[in-house]
Amino acid sequence: MPKPQINKIPPFDACLGAVVSISYVGHLPHANRIIIYDAASMTVVYDETKDGLALEHTIPPDILTNGTKYAIQGQVFDSFHNAGPLSDKVYFYCLAAPSFYFKDISDGSTFHSASIYASLIYEQENGEAIDEFRFYLYDDLKNLLMESETFFTTENANYAYRGLTDDRFYYLRAAGSTVNGIPLDTGYLKIFINYENPKDYKLIDAQCNEENSVVTYQTNFVVINPSDTETAYEYKDGFINLIDQTLVYDKDFTVTGNFTLSIRGKDMCRNAVVLTCANNLTSLSLSSYIYDDGGMRYKLAVSNGLCNYILYSEALFPKKEDIITIHIRRIHEVYQMTCFVEKQLVGEVNSHDLSQ
Do 67 and 157 reside in the same domain of the chain? no
Mean pLDDT calculated for residue range 321-329: 88
Rounded Cα–Cα distance for residues 5 and 34 (Å): 11
* pLDDT over 80 at 254, yes or no: no
314 inside domain: yes
Do 213 and 327 reside in the same domain of the chain? yes
220 inside domain: yes
Beta bridge partners of 71: 37, 91
* pLDDT over 80 at 85, yes or no: yes
> Domain ends where: 193, 228, 257?
193
Q: Quote the radius of gyration of the chain (alpha carbons, Å).
A: 33
> Domain ends where: 69, 94, 119?
94
Beta-sheet strand order (sheet of 308-312): 272-278, 283-290, 296-303, 308-312
Whether 117 and 252 have beta carbons less than 8 Å apart is answered as: no
Do 336 and 211 reside in the same domain of the chain? yes
Identify the pLDDT of residue 221: 52
Mean pLDDT calculated for residue range 155-171: 88
Predicted TM-score of the model (pTM): 0.51
Looking at the 3D structure of the chain, how many domains does it have? 3
- 240 against 55, higher pLDDT: 55
Do 83 and 124 reside in the same domain of the chain? no
Rounded Cα–Cα distance for residues 34 and 74 (Å): 5
* pLDDT over 90 at 72, yes or no: yes
Whether 119 and 103 have beta carbons less than 8 Å apart is answered as: yes
- Sequential DSSP letters for 152-203: --STT-EEEE--PPTTEEEEEEEEEEETT--EEE---EEEEE----TTT--S
Do 231 and 281 reside in the same domain of the chain? yes
> Domain ends where: 159, 193, 227?
193
Do 86 and 116 reside in the same domain of the chain? no
Q: What is the pLDDT of residues 193-252, one digit of tens each?
A: 987 654 444 455 666 767 666 666 655 555 555 555 556 667 666 677 777 777 777 665
Residue 155 zone, left/alpha/beta (φ > 0; ψ -120 to 50; rest):
alpha
Q: Which range is least confidently modeled, 144-158, 161-175, 190-204, 211-225?
A: 211-225
Do 116 and 173 reside in the same domain of the chain? yes
Domain housing 76: 5-94
